Structure 1
């Protein structure tokens, strides 16, 4: 995330961070459903109007960025992949280091991941953020080709659904690998 340069932008970013920190702390302590937006605003020492000004999408949006970082990262995984690495291999590696598939998370990030994966509203919002990157990922996959090609769009959509499909499985990494194996070799019936 880039650092805002103007005073107003810095203050907005600080308020947004205070809201995100308060929300995460309260969600971890009381569970997502046990926390109201009024409690979050109070914990961050802002009014409800200020909270909704910064986060109009509701409390599930409080612990996520706007999706720009993930969209840019998944596109970069394809665009900046090493020579000789297939699109699917690059996407598999990228996904393996994210969310439910990551194995090297700090205890704090592990708690946050478990909260997101275990809370339907948060998991749903996260899915919404992933799916919002479909067009950008399709364009990266297509390269110089047609990003509107149904096969390219389908591949982009399916890859972005992987966290939803496999993230709550008993062995998410094995499920991720099974999905990418299927994508790489195709359905054989």
Structure 2
């Protein structure tokens, strides 16, 4: 009889321990805030303030937060330079979709901190050169080109509890060689990406 009681007691103890393991752990206040924030605030809009202040272009950005560790987005660049600014090569327009993976995101709210990204960029740019005709006179010529690039970047994003964000990042991409200069001039083989974005997550 004692052996039966011992076996039954052991069985009950094992079943109780197993049930306790299966019970979901109660969420901490930090986890509740994280889940609520990520469920509600998944959209970000921002602007590259450095490019805007320097008069290089208008660079708005939109990002959709997929989860605590990832997001997808798109950058636009609308160049506002002209020939009088003295730049031989400058972008006039670009669109850059990207995917980001966030690392070491141990803070309350996800999709922030250090990140790495991959991007594809399609852009137009202008390049100027001096052309001499048969009579020895010359003139400045500006040609427009369309190019595409694939690249990677890194950066860091800060997001406050209210949703205000600062995003500092940079990257580099390899041009695919779609642009062709009829004059035989060497066009850039790489393109850059980066800036300091201020914005809001909502």
When normalised by structure 1's length, the TM-score is 0.24
Which structure has greater helix proportion? 1
Work out which of the two has the higher radius of gyration on C-alpha atoms and give 1 or 2: 2
Which structure has greater strand proportion? 2
When normalised by structure 2's length, the TM-score is 0.23
